[in-house]
Amino acid sequence: GAVVSQHPSWVICKSGTSVKIECRSLDFQATTMFWYRQFPKQSLMLMATSNEGSKATYEQGVEKDKFLINHASLTLSTLTVTSAHPEDSSFYICSAGPSNLANEQFFGPGTRLTVL
């Protein structure tokens, strides 16, 4: 199957700092990538759809100025959590899928963010 990587796998930061998370499709091109957040023992919550070469589409309730998404190439999307606070601590996961595999999403390994 297709491979999606994420970096870093975990990060601990102080409150008020910004954290950038990278999502890469390693063996296919992805015009669309998805960013999710998952709290402990809960389901995945779609935050936004990242579109290559255009603005991301954010889900209701997700602050676009807080969670900056950049999809500058067909293999890379980044999520920047700006001015992070303890309530932003969560597991952030991206997904992408090759165009020839309709609706099948491959997930990155996730990034565990802890804001102190």
Write down the least CB distance from residue 6 to other proteins, Å: 9
Closest approach, Cβ 34 to other proteins, in A, equals 6
- Cβ at position 65, least distance to other proteins in Å: 21
> Residue 32, Cβ neighbours under 10 Å: how many?
17
Q: How far is the CB of 36 from other proteins (least distance, A)?
A: 8
- Which of 75/95 has CB closer to other proteins? 95
Inter-residue contact 70 to 21 (CB < 8 Å): no
Q: Are 34 and 105 in contact (CB under 8 A)?
A: yes
Q: What is the DSSP string of 74-113?
A: TTEEEEEE-S--GGG-EEEEEEE--TTSTT--EE---EEE
Name which of 43 and 100 has its Cβ closer to other proteins.
43
Nearer to other proteins by Cβ, of 33 and 84: the residue is 33
Nearer to other proteins, 5 or 82 (CB): 5
Residues that bind other proteins (CB under 8 A): 1, 34, 41-46, 49, 93, 95, 103-110
Closest-CA residue to 24 (of 89, 94, 87, 82) = 94
